[in-house]
């Protein structure tokens, strides 16, 4: 399995857990339009209270917004993208559903075989299935 092989996240709980791992990269796809965006979510200062959300553009990843209080609140800043941008609206819509434990049939979420906490490539089949390496798994409940 290569690093670029996407793995579908089947439940909202799995998606939120993975996305708040600390160094997650996910692709959210619309099943209606087949459009997709890739997001990188990183933890701020390892406090797991604030996360930075970046979106992949043709120029690389660009900062978009912040998730505060373990994802309970979306915060926009001057350094991020305007909330009127479609990329931002798409993430906000998806995150609202996921955080409320809802996985709409209109979207699919994919992750890659990298550890959601440290960002290293996963090689063990159990770790690939879990989305986290054995050392990092100790930090999850």
Per-residue pLDDT tens for 96-128? 999 999 999 999 999 988 999 999 999 888 888
Q: Please report which confidence band the pLDDT of residue 1 belongs to, taking 50, 70 and 90 as the band edges.
A: very low
pLDDT digits (tens, 9 = 90+) for 59-85: 999 999 999 988 899 999 999 999 999
pLDDT at 2 over 80: no
User: For position 49, what pLDDT does the model report?
Assistant: 87
Decide if 33 contacts 57 (C-beta within 8 A).
no
User: For position 5, what pLDDT does the model report?
Assistant: 72
Whole-Å CA distances, 69 to 72, 92, 134: 5, 15, 26
The DSSP call for residue 122 is P
Decide if 128 contacts 7 (C-beta within 8 A).
yes
The DSSP call for residue 114 is B
User: pTM (2 decimals)?
Assistant: 0.89
């Amino acid at each position: 399995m290569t690093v670029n092989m996407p793995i579908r996240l089947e439940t909202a709980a799995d998606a939120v857990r993975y996305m708040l791992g600390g160094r997650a990269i996910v692709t959210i796809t619309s099943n209606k339009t087949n459009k997709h965006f890739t997001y990188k979510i990183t933890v701020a200062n390892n406090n797991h209270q604030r996360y930075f959300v970046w979106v992949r553009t043709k120029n690389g990843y660009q900062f978009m917004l912040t998730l505060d209080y373990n994802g309970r609140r979306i915060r926009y800043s001057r350094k991020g993208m305007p909330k009127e941008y479609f990329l931002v609206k798409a993430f906000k819509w998806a995150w609202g559903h996921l955080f409320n434990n809802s996985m709409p049939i209109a979207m699919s979420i994919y992750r890659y075989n990298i550890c959601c906490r440290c960002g290293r490539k996963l090689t063990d089949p159990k770790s690939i299935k879990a989305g986290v390496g054995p050392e990092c798994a100790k930090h999850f409940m």
